[in-house]
Amino acid sequence: MATAYQNLSEYDFNSVPDASEMSIGIVVAEWNKLITEKLLEGACNTLEKHGVKEENILVERVPGSFELTFGAKHLAENHNLDAVIVLGCVIQGDTPHFNYVCSGVTQGITELNLMYDIPFIFGLLTTENMQQAEDRAGGRYGNKGDEAAITAIKMSDFACRLKK
Ligand code: DLZ
């Protein structure tokens, strides 16, 4: 959770493994596109900063966050990837819809992590309002996309090391 104590874009550069041989899939939700495109930009920039080649970053878009699980599963099944990141932004409204979408994605991504040998990274903003989302999409609390990219690199390195 990003707070004044934890900026999403701050990390120790040297603690991140070399990612020049990694292939990473990213599924992005089109709902709240102004936010999710910023998450995507952050994720791609951060992956490339750590060596991932542009041609080894596979980006696919789905209509909303609820579809992220399906999109991530299909990316994993049809491509040779080291990790899949999902990026979305669910903003609380007047109905309980927010809760259903958030718990659907959380459960879906958890299940994918149990089903497959590659990590699925949860880059979903779940906020009360647009300001909180902006604060976490390149605003004062950093960018959730950066955090998701670093996590993808670390977890795919983790999976690779334990396989040997
Ligand atoms: C329907 C809906 C609503 C109300 N809000 C959001 C949201 O804040 N963020 C988001 O990513 N998607 C939202 N959606 C769309 C659902 O995720 C999904 O695309 C539709 O319910 C169709 O399955």
Span 92-131, pLDDT tens digits: 987 888 999 999 999 999 999 999 999 999 999 999 999 9
What pLDDT does 40 receive? 98
Cite the active site residues. 97
Which CATH number, 3.40.50.1700, 3.40.50.960, 3.50.50.60, 3.40.309.10, labels domain 25-163?
A: 3.40.50.960
Q: How far is CA 156 from CA 8, 11, 12, 134, in A?
A: 19, 17, 18, 28
For residue 7, the tally of other CB atoms under 10 A from its CB is 16
Q: Is 93 in the pocket of ligand 1 (CB under 6 A)?
A: yes
How far does the centroid of ligand 1 lie from the alpha carbon of residue 52, in Å?
31
Q: What is the mean pLDDT of residues 64-74?
A: 98
The structure's pTM equals 0.96
What pLDDT does 90 receive? 96
Ligand 1, atom 4, lies closest to the CA of 97
What pLDDT does 155 receive? 98
